[in-house]
Amino acid sequence: MNRNSGNSKVKLPADDQSNGWYEILTDQAPSNPLKGSDSTDWLVIGGGFVGMAATRRLAELNPNQKVMLADAQRIGHGTSGRNSGFIIDLPHKGDLEGPDIERKRKFIGLNRAAIEYMEKQVTTHGIECQWSHAGKIQGAVSERGIKFLEHFQYLLQELGEPGTMLSGAELKKKVGTDYYQQALFTPGCILMQPAALMRGLLDTLPDNAICHEDTPILGLEQRGKRWVAKTRHGEIHADKVLLGTNIFTEQFGLLTSRMLPIMTFASMTRPLTEDEFKAFGGSDDWGLTPADYAGTTLRFTQDRRMIVRNQYRFVPNYSSTGRERQHIREKHRDAFLARYPKLSHVPFEYTWGGVCTLSSNYTSFFGELKPGLFASCCHNGVGAARGTISGKLLAELASDGDSQLQRDMLEVSGMPAWIPPEPFLGVGVRTRLKMAEWVSRSEI
């Protein structure tokens, strides 16, 4: 689906309207789309984790200059508000493998700097987003999953990081099901309500920052020493531009054929009643990720909603259909009932998808693309932490700042590898996703 009424060549976000995190929010102010043309010192395109952190930091560093943030949708409605609500401090998936211990420690330092920076905003401004130092449980259903857990614990021990192994019986007291054989608990992960967090960050931006929601950018070009962004109703002229556009970066002709758009899906129940919570038998406020990455993620929120996430799709148009989500909702239901048969009468209220961006060499981009044009994108499933700290550091880089964290970010970043064109890409990615789902079927 392409909602672009001004330029049919540009794909714009076309997210579904059933993101539970966003839909349960209340008392949102109307959006403020840009009408006509405007000029600014700084333009940030994309209001996700990268763009929000970049906007705030630019405004802090340049208090006498105008900072403008433009997003095609409402803040919190897109990918940043569609994740499972984890801010993970440890290296993730591909970042955790390999022999370079110091490189892994740089990832940890960057992730924890992101948590520290974001927590400062949450506490300073009193942002209500279910922020919690709950840690993260990694659960194994089968012997395959247990082997993954043991390997993960070994890698943590190499780094000197804590991790406590839990038996199935110990885990049941927390998550209310004996479906899992074993689990590994790590204490540094933050849990939160992502859409509420993003709306809170928006509402507390510095006074010299302005956000225009529902303002898609249809084109970007350099005219002389300034950058010009085309909107539906005019143009934005800016001295410097920072892109927090992830997969949509390629719509500006940048980093093309280097990023894979993969959609993950989640379903959310209504809140459990007091009797249902007693029947559930666990505690509230926890998050469980699968030992095998293609398995099932669970969240139990502070307001006693259960969230189930699994299923992955390659989405070259960055969207999903209602029919596809209905099929996925049934898969989520199967996973829910396998774990919580006593709650079989509890319905799902929402099922949604969110696009994350992967690279075939598991590398993110961070830095200056062209003079005055900066970007951070392709965070390989860890956008909450990596997006936040890279957005902050990108603002500092663009403002001629320097720090050890900035140098670390530049060191662990690079160029996402080239990927083949369609139809070869789609065939290869879909085959690989199906294979991953099949070999991980015991963990779903």
Read off the CATH number of the domain in which 413 is found.
3.50.50.60
Residue 180: both structure tokens together: 């899992």
Return d(Cα 56, Cα 209) in angstroms, integer: 7
Q: Which whole number is the average pLDDT over 267-290?
A: 97
Q: Which of 93-102, 245-254, 300-309 has the lowest mean pLDDT?
A: 93-102
- Is position 62 within any domain? yes
In the predicted structure, residue 440 carries a pLDDT above the cut 90: no
Region for 360 from its dihedrals, namely left if φ exceeds 0, alpha if ψ lies in -120 to 50, beta otherwise: alpha
Return d(Cα 169, Cα 287) in angstroms, integer: 17
Provide the percentage of residues in the chain whose pLDDT is more than 90.
87
Query: Does 423 sit behind a cis peptide bond, omega within 30 degrees of 0 on the bond before it?
Result: yes
List pLDDT tens digits, range 386-417. 999 999 999 999 999 999 999 999 999 999 99
- Is position 144 within any domain? no
pLDDT band of 1, cuts 50, 70, 90: very low
Query: What pLDDT is attached to residue 399?
Result: 98
Query: What pLDDT is attached to residue 230?
Result: 98
Count of other CB atoms within 10 angstroms of residue 427: 12
- Is position 92 within any domain? no
- Is position 135 within any domain? no
Whole-angstrom CA distances from 235 to 75, 211, 223, 288, 317 are: 21, 15, 12, 45, 26
Query: What pLDDT is attached to residue 293?
Result: 80
**Strand, helix or coil at 183?**
strand
In the predicted structure, residue 86 carries a pLDDT above the cut 70: yes
Bigger pLDDT: 194 or 93? 194
pLDDT band of 94, cuts 50, 70, 90: confident
Q: Which whole number is the average pLDDT over 243-264?
A: 96
Bigger pLDDT: 425 or 397? 397
pLDDT band of 4, cuts 50, 70, 90: very low
Whole-angstrom CA distances from 413 to 106, 115, 248, 355, 359 are: 11, 19, 19, 21, 12
Which residue type, as a one-letter code, is found at position 60? Answer: E
pLDDT band of 365, cuts 50, 70, 90: very high
In the predicted structure, residue 231 carries a pLDDT above the cut 70: yes
Query: What pLDDT is attached to residue 291?
Result: 93
- Is position 414 within any domain? yes
Return d(Cα 438, Cα 61) in angstroms, integer: 49
Strand partners, 262: 314, 356
In the predicted structure, residue 6 carries a pLDDT above the cut 60: no
Q: Which whole number is the average pLDDT over 368-381?
A: 95
Our CA angle for 113, 114, 120, nearest 5°, is: 90
Query: What pLDDT is attached to residue 2?
Result: 35
Bigger pLDDT: 424 or 57? 57
Query: What pLDDT is attached to residue 59?
Result: 98
Whole-angstrom CA distances from 350 to 74, 85, 203, 268, 335 are: 18, 16, 25, 5, 16
List pLDDT tens digits, range 168-227. 999 999 999 999 999 999 999 999 999 999 999 999 999 999 999 999 999 999 999 999
12 phi/psi in degrees, rounded to 5 = -115, 160
Q: Which whole number is the average pLDDT over 271-287?
A: 97
183 phi/psi in degrees, rounded to 5 = -150, 160
Place of tokens 């959006």: 31
In the predicted structure, residue 7 carries a pLDDT above the cut 80: no
Domain count within the chain: 1
Query: What pLDDT is attached to residue 436?
Result: 81
In the predicted structure, residue 97 carries a pLDDT above the cut 90: no
Return d(Cα 69, Cα 143) in angstroms, integer: 48
- Is position 106 within any domain? no
Provide the percentage of residues in the chain whose pLDDT is more than 70.
98
pLDDT band of 3, cuts 50, 70, 90: very low
Query: Which DSSP symbol is given to 161?
Result: -
Domain with 391 in it: 20-82+195-259+361-424
- Is position 436 within any domain? no
In the predicted structure, residue 315 carries a pLDDT above the cut 90: yes
In the predicted structure, residue 349 carries a pLDDT above the cut 80: yes
- Is position 407 within any domain? yes
Cα torsion 177, 178, 181, 185 to 10°: value is: 30
pLDDT, the chain, mean: 94
Query: What pLDDT is attached to residue 437?
Result: 82
Count of other CB atoms within 10 angstroms of residue 267: 27
